[in-house]
């Protein structure tokens, strides 16, 4: 049963808003403080009433003993005693009466019933604080006859005063607590007002409305959260816009690549086919002649072989653009070695220095292709535009870029030449732009730095992608 109550309490607590929780906790603290204060007054009531009883009875006894000391010297002691008892009946906290017989029948002193009814505490409070009255007998002798005056305490007035104090404390404390709660609710409500705007802004961001902004307000902490949320919304908007531009450029690059391949097929593949067709037609015509011209046959046959060889080179170049030959079969090192040998054979005047770290390890198929394409694109720019005499290619392990998730290693690719560098208004070509976007999509970075000593292309490419 207790576990069910605890579960229900936890569920109800979780459903409460932050404002309701703060207000509820404050109300609980104020009620607890008021209850503790009232309990303290109730606990202190009994010692207070008892001390008052003892003090009143002691003073009354001393007073009675003093005034009755010369009673026998009065002309009429009995009348004088009755007058004293009548005068003392006006006391509030004590009553004095004559003891008429051994049974102790008392004559109560006169008291105000209206006053008692108006200030009378509840019965449970009387029973808790002082359920019994205290009486003391003071013996006196009048003309040789022994009598007694009975002093009886009446703590009702004291208990009424205490009860009035408790009621006043409860009323005043409740009013103060209610005022504090109302003020705190207002302050908390204004302080937490930005939470509603924050919640609505998050909903808008979830719906894709990245232009949403929140006016900073409330407590400094909430204002800081509003500012950070605005920054987050702006960053998300920029990221989405960058993603859109990236997709647009990707499509544009694909179109450019298709156009380039179509142009090469049209400009190079078409003439080769036309030449082959012409030479094949010539061979057919020569075969119909009775007297065959061996020299002409050899000439056309050699021309066909040359055209076929040219087509094979062209085919390898096209395939190299679409997919590096031997990368998957031979691995990254062998494929890069073949690529660099081809560049060295076609440009013998340029010294190519290569360093591939032995601690590079496995990088993954996608990373291998990206590394290969980066080196290929950088070398293409060097040999086309840099007018360099030396170029170095370095591939080595690198630390993980900031912001990358997981525990993947990275490869650093650096291609540096000693050419003329880039002009101040130079813009990157489509090849490097496409390569940068490819690397950024993988979580890496690509930088191009130009100086007096040439151009340095450096890329950090994450490993472990397949």
Mark 112-134 as b/e (b = at least 16 C-beta within 10 Å): eeeeeeeeebeeebbeebbeeeb
CA-to-CA distance for 112 and 163, rounded, in angstroms? 18
CB 210 within 8 A of CB 236: yes
CB 340 within 8 A of CB 354: yes
Under 8 Å CB-to-CB from 367, ≥6 apart: which residues?
411, 442, 461, 462, 463, 464, 465
Residue 119's pLDDT is 56
Residue 400's pLDDT is 62
Cα 39–Cα 40–Cα 42 angle in degrees, nearest 5? 65
Q: Name the H helices within 323-364.
A: 327-330, 332-346
Residue 446 token pair:
């690509």
Q: What is the pTM of this model?
A: 0.45
Cα 241–Cα 242–Cα 247 angle in degrees, nearest 5? 100
CA-to-CA distance for 37 and 131, rounded, in angstroms? 23
- CA nearest to 241, candidates 212, 201, 210: 210
CB 393 within 8 A of CB 352: yes
Residue 409 token pair:
């290693």
Residue 2's pLDDT is 63
CA-to-CA distance for 319 and 330, rounded, in angstroms? 16
Residue 347's pLDDT is 84
H or E segment and range at residue 95: strand 94-98
Residue 392's pLDDT is 92
Residue 12's pLDDT is 65
Q: Name the H helices within 68-155.
A: 77-88, 113-119, 123-129
For 236-271, how does the pLDDT look when each residue is reduced to its tens digit (9 = 90+)?
888 888 777 777 776 776 777 778 778 877 777 788
Q: Residue 387 region, left (φ>0) first, then alpha (ψ -120 to 50), else beta?
A: left
Q: Which regions of 358-421 does DSSP assign to beta strands (E)?
A: 390-398, 410-417
- CA nearest to 94, candidates 24, 144, 151: 151
Residue 394 token pair:
């370095």
Residue 100's pLDDT is 62
Under 8 Å CB-to-CB from 202, ≥6 apart: which residues?
229
Which stretches of the chain score pLDDT less than 50?
A: 101-118, 465-466
CA distances from 263 to 105, 204, 215, 255, 316 (A): 135, 48, 56, 12, 16
Residue 131's pLDDT is 59
């Amino acid at each position: 049963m207790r576990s069910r109550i605890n579960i229900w309490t936890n569920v109800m607590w979780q459903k409460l808003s932050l404002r309701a929780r703060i207000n509820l906790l404050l109300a609980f603290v104020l009620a607890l403080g008021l209850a503790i204060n009232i309990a303290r007054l109730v606990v202190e009531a009994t010692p207070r009433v008892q001390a008052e009883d003892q003090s009143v009875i002691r003073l009354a006894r001393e007073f009675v003993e003093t005034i009755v000391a010369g009673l026998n010297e009065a002309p009429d002691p009995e009348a004088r005693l009755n007058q004293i008892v009548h005068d003392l009946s006006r006391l509030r906290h004590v009553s004095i009466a004559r003891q008429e017989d051994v049974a102790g029948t008392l004559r109560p002193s006169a008291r105000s019933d209206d006053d008692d009814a108006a200030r009378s505490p509840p019965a449970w409070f009387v029973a808790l604080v002082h359920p019994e009255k205290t009486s003391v007998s003071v013996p006196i002798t009048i003309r040789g006859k022994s009598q007694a005056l009975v002093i009886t305490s009446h703590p009702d007035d004291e208990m009424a005063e205490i009860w009035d104090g408790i009621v006043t404390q409860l009323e005043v404390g409740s009013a103060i607590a209610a005022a504090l709660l109302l003020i705190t609710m207002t302050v908390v409500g204004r302080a937490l007002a930005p939470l509603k705007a924050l919640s609505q802004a998050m909903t808008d961001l979830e719906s894709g409305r990245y232009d949403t902004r929140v006016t900073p307000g409330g407590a400094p902490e909430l204002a800081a959260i509003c500012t950070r949320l605005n920054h987050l919304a702006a960053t998300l908007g920029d990221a989405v816009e960058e993603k859109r531009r990236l997709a647009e450029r990707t499509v544009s690059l694909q179109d450019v690549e298709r156009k380039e391949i179509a142009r090469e097929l049209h400009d190079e593949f078409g003439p080769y086919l036309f030449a082959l067709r012409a030479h094949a037609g010539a061979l057919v015509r020569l075969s119909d002649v009775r007297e065959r011209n061996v020299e002409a046959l050899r000439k056309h046959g050699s021309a066909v072989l040359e055209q076929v060889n040219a087509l094979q080179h062209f085919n390898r170049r096209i395939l190299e653009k679409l997919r590096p030959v031997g990368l998957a079969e031979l691995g990254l090192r062998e494929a890069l070695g073949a690529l660099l040998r081809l560049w060295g054979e076609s440009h013998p005047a340029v010294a190519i220095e290569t360093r591939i770290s032995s601690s590079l390890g496995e990088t993954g198929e996608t990373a291998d292709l990206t590394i290969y394409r980066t080196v290929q694109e950088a070398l293409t720019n060097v040999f086309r535009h840099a007018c360099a005499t030396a170029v170095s290619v370095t591939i080595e392990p690198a630390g993980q870029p900031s912001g990358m998730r997981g525990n993947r290693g990275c490869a650093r690719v650096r291609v540096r030449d000693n050419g003329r560098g880039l002009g101040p208004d130079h813009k990157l070509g489509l090849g490097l732009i496409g390569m940068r976007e490819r690397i950024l999509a993988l979580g890496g970075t690509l930088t191009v730095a130009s100086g007096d000593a040439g151009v340095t292309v450096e890329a950090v490419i994450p490993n472990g992608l397949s």
